[in-house]
Amino acid sequence: MRDVRECEGADCVLLFLPANPRRRWCVASACGNRARVARYYARHKP
Ligand SMILES: [Zn+2]
């Protein structure tokens, strides 16, 4: 059994098989990018 992981995207409930063990999102350019943007705004809020 391979290691299925749950996407960490905020609104995403997809499961995926990470090609890279450090991968956290089903689609890095979608869910991963959203997480990066959210983190960016959280850090730059007054
Ligand atoms: Zn996702």
Token pair 């299925």 is found at 4
Token pair recorded at residue 5: 């992981």
The alpha carbon of 37 and the centre of ligand 1 are apart by a number of angstroms equal to 14
Token match 């090609």: residue? Answer: 19
Range(s) of the domain holding residue 28: 5-44
- Spacing, Cα 14 to ligand 1 middle (Å): 6
Ligand 1 centre and the CA of 33: distance in Å?
10
The confidence score (pLDDT) of residue 46 equals 77
Domain count, the chain: 1
Predicted TM-score (pTM) of this structure = 0.65
Q: Give strand pairing partners of 16.
A: 5
The pLDDT, as a whole number, for residue 14 is 95
Q: What is the pLDDT of residue 6?
A: 94
Mean pLDDT by 10 residues, the chain (46 residues): 85 90 89 86 84
For residue 18, what pLDDT is reported? 87
Q: Which residues of 20-36 are buried (b: 16+ CB within 10 A; e: fewer)?
A: eeeebbbeeeebbebbe
